[in-house]
Amino acid sequence: MNTEERISFLRKELEGYNHSYYVLDTPVISDFEFDKLMSELIGLEEENPEYQDDLSPTKKVGGMVIDSFNTINHKFPMLSLSNTYNAEDLNDFDNRVKKLIDVPFQYVCELKFDGASISLTYVNGKLKQALTRGDGTKGDDVTENVKTIRSLPLKLKGDFPEEFEIRGEILISKSDFEKLNDQKIEKEEKPFSNPRNTASGSLKMHDTKEVYNRLLDCFLYHMLGENLPTKEHFSNLEKAKSWGLKVSDTTEVKSDIYGVIDYVNYWDTARYDLPFEIDGIVIKVNNTDLQEELGFTSKFPRWAISYKFKSEQVFTKLNSISYQVGRTGAITPVANLEPVQLAGTIVKRASLHNADQIEKLDIRVGDVVYVEKGGEIIPKVVGVELKDRDLLSQPTEFISTCPDCNTELVRKEGDAKHYCPNSENCNQQIIGKFEHFIGRKAMDIDGLGVETIELLVKENLISEISDLYLLRKEQILPLERMAEKSAENLISGIEESKKIPFERLLFALGIRFVGETVAKKLANHYTTIDNLMSSTFEELLAVDEIGDKIAESLVHYFSKEKNRVLIHNLKGHNLCFLAEKKQENLSDKLSGMAVVVSGVFTHHSRNELKQMIEKHGGKNVSSISKKTTFVLSGDNMGPSKKEKAEELGIPLISEEEFINKIS
């Protein structure tokens, strides 16, 4: 066997041993024997650089120093999941799904691993890229660090697609976490706080050899791409497993929500026996065509949900209550606590929600209170230990005036929140509006953060959104912590924001009830801000998915002179109030027609059919009404949808008839 053949042999053997040990959990050789073979391969590669290969098992050992991590857009957004906490919530989710799809379907139940989300792209069976979740739209490229994970193959085997994306969670097992902390203690260093934060922090380390020593693992749970093996989420995971990817054996298919609840109840207890941390269960509709039909809200997929196990609770002392003012003027009471460890982090503050919550729990300063993390993210006070209460304590009186501008607060009937009505002169509201405007999902202005906004407001350099576009470098340079380069970056970022598309600018204005999805629909429908501003309440209601609350809010917003002046000023600064021109339609054969797509089709996916409808001038709608022109009906169309179409006299046409219609 010559050198090249020996290198090839060692690579193949080590890949197999890695897979057996870290994925199948069935060691084939001892650690000593493995290390001996790895050392031989490392030596041969160093002596024969002409045989170097980026996919060699030696690359997992690390050794590269990374200067910085590039931020890259996700091909498919990495959205969060909405949360449920009990069986009633799960039944509500099930009912929402059934209302929208009305065909037989299954659920897939998965463990919700407690680690750091990752998105991997494989091209021709080779790992091309690994991105963190980031803000869901773009993430950091941590490919070199991810390559060091022993359970993750750098190249696949079998009948994989040419290109696909697979998502998962990078974590550290309980036993490996203990090993890492033992090493820390031996060196008299501060131990890590919890496995999740350690896994997440490890991904952003600059020395790949150090990342390798962190003993990271990875479970994969969701595949995306144009040419996936099957139309079922679970079957795609089984295929991924056959290619060498690590997929949990605990994932199961359930025929109904009762099976889902049984799965949840089982793992609520059994989770403590797992070798790694989980914080809940993820439930997904199995069929990928149905996932497409269900679609997304601005924040969450409608076809998946997370069940969160009961939160960990701790008790601590409530030292004081302070009050925050939001951009809408809403007042939020905040508990300032004696610092306490909760779910791996030190908690010093927690939400008290509103005056009703304080009164309901009878929360008082000086109380020993119970704190938990709502959805494992935001700490909240959930109870009081009355036996520890000071006999002289007094009930909490909610403030009557704004903590920022001293204006008397108002509370509308049926609203749990108190509000400061002084929107024009209340600094905290002004800062909140700027903070929303410059946010990543809005204008995303580089070099401009909340601290700088506060400073600019304090120095009276800005009071209205449009003032940002009047700022000059000479005004900014004298400010605290503002150097020449940072001032230039700030002005450049503001100038660059003028290119932000209309839909994001509309969202950035902060109109009540106008989130990202609504802003996009309005921008696409009206195409210009002038068309939107002149629209009546009735005309707004005619827009797809625009209801009473949104229509009322828009009419109210544009009726105010100061808002119309703001838009006039922003136009003067050349911000984009014109929707991007849509790609020219193939024809107008479906112009003015509202089409419902329902069922399973032979020649095209549901998504392809929807694209065809739009390309020929039609509009896709999700439910059948008197306004529906026809239903594009496939196999297994839901009986209730069919019945409703027949009742209203809406024609049902087949896939073949539809193709003839647009040909």
Q: Could you tell me if 149 and 97 are in contact, meaning their C-beta atoms sit under 8 angstroms apart? A: no
| HEC readout, 75-114 | CCCCCCCCEECCHHHHHHHHHHHHHHHCCCCCEEEEEEEC
Going by their DSSP bridges, the two strands 378-384 and 368-374 should be labelled as antiparallel
Going by their DSSP bridges, the two strands 594-598 and 619-620 should be labelled as parallel
Whether residue 54 is predicted with pLDDT greater than 90 in this model: the reply is no
CA atoms within 13 A on the CB side of 207: 4
User: What ranges do the domains of the chain cover?
Assistant: 3-61, 102-304, 311-418, 427-499, 502-572, 594-662
- Give the per-residue pLDDT at 62: 61
Average pLDDT over every residue of 342-350:
82
At 4, the amino acid letter reads E
At 118, the amino acid letter reads I
Tokens of 385: 């230990």
| Terminal-residue alpha carbon distance, the chain | 63
List the one residue out of 384, 487, 503 whose CA is nearest residue 442: 503
Q: Could you tell me if 175 and 169 are in contact, meaning their C-beta atoms sit under 8 angstroms apart? A: no
Reported confidence tier of residue 376, pLDDT bands at 50, 70, 90? very low
List the one residue out of 303, 336, 297 whose CA is nearest residue 319: 336
Given 3.30.470.30, 3.90.79.10, 3.40.1280.10, 2.160.10.10, which CATH number is that of 102-304? 3.30.470.30
Q: Give the list of residues 6+ apart from residue 400 with CB closer than 8 angstroms, or none.
A: 408, 409
Tokens of 310: 């009961």
Q: From residue 469, how far is each of 490, 496, 514 by CA, in Å?
A: 11, 11, 24
Q: Give the list of residues 6+ apart from residue 283 with CB closer than 8 angstroms, or none.
A: 90, 93, 107, 108, 109, 110, 260, 304, 305, 306, 307
Given 3.40.50.880, 2.60.40.1170, 1.10.150.20, 2.60.120.10, which CATH number is that of 502-572? 1.10.150.20
At 137, the amino acid letter reads T
- Give the per-residue pLDDT at 141: 93
Most confident of 44-53, 247-256, 377-386: 247-256
The CATH topology of domain 427-499 is: DNA polymerase; domain 1 (1.10.150)
Among residues 59, 60, 112, 644, which one is catalytic? 112
The CATH topology of domain 311-418 is: OB fold (Dihydrolipoamide Acetyltransferase, E2P) (2.40.50)
Mean pLDDT of the chain: 89
Element at 548 (helix H, strand E) = helix 548-559
Place of tokens 């989300």: 117
List the one residue out of 101, 90, 134, 98 whose CA is nearest residue 116: 134
Percentage of the chain surpassing pLDDT 90?
A: 55
Average pLDDT over every residue of 304-312:
86
Taking only the tens place, the pLDDT of each residue in 483-519 is 888 899 999 999 999 999 999 999 999 998 898 889 9
b/e string for 407-418 if b means 16 or more Cβ within 10 A?
Answer: bebeeeeeeebb
Percentage of the chain surpassing pLDDT 70?
A: 97
Most confident of 30-44, 525-539, 623-637: 525-539
List the one residue out of 416, 99, 22 whose CA is nearest residue 14: 22
Taking only the tens place, the pLDDT of each residue in 210-261 is 999 999 999 999 999 988 999 999 999 999 999 999 999 999 999 999 999 9
Q: What is the CATH number of domain 3-61?
A: 1.10.287.610
Taking only the tens place, the pLDDT of each residue in 57-99 is 777 676 566 777 888 989 888 888 888 888 999 999 999 999 8
Which burial class, exposed, middle or buried, applies to 387 when counting CB atoms under 10 A from its CB (0-12, 13-18, 19+)?
exposed
Whether residue 266 is predicted with pLDDT greater than 60 in this model: the reply is yes
Whether residue 364 is predicted with pLDDT greater than 50 in this model: the reply is yes
| HEC readout, 21-56 | HHHCCCCCCCHHHHHHHHHHHHHHHHHCHHHCCCCC
- Give the per-residue pLDDT at 64: 66
Whether residue 367 is predicted with pLDDT greater than 50 in this model: the reply is yes
112 is catalytic: yes
Separation CA 384–CA 315 (nearest Å): 9
Taking only the tens place, the pLDDT of each residue in 388-397 is 898 899 999 9
Which burial class, exposed, middle or buried, applies to 151 when counting CB atoms under 10 A from its CB (0-12, 13-18, 19+)?
buried
Q: What is the three-class DSSP state of 458?
A: helix
Instruction: Judge if 3-61 and 502-572 fold alike in CATH terms.
Output: no
Q: What is the three-class DSSP state of 528?
A: strand
Q: Could you tell me if 211 and 66 are in contact, meaning their C-beta atoms sit under 8 angstroms apart? A: no
Q: Could you tell me if 332 and 322 are in contact, meaning their C-beta atoms sit under 8 angstroms apart? A: no
Whether residue 409 is predicted with pLDDT greater than 70 in this model: the reply is yes
- Give the per-residue pLDDT at 170: 96
Which own/partner contact pairs does 546-554 have at CB distance under 8 Å and 24+ positions apart? 546/518, 546/521, 546/522, 549/513, 550/513, 550/514, 550/518, 553/511, 553/512, 553/513, 553/514, 554/511, 554/514, 554/522
Separation CA 94–CA 645 (nearest Å): 23
List the one residue out of 418, 343, 364 whose CA is nearest residue 114: 343
Separation CA 577–CA 567 (nearest Å): 9
- Give the per-residue pLDDT at 582: 62
- Give the per-residue pLDDT at 541: 86
At 364, the amino acid letter reads R
Given 3.40.50.2020, 3.40.50.10440, 3.40.50.10190, 3.60.20.30, which CATH number is that of 594-662? 3.40.50.10190
- Give the per-residue pLDDT at 23: 67
- Give the per-residue pLDDT at 371: 93
**Residue 254's beta-bridge partner residues?**
107
Q: What angle is formed at CA 78 by the lines to CA 73 and CA 82, rounded to 5 degrees? A: 155
Separation CA 557–CA 575 (nearest Å): 19
Largest CA distance in the chain: 88
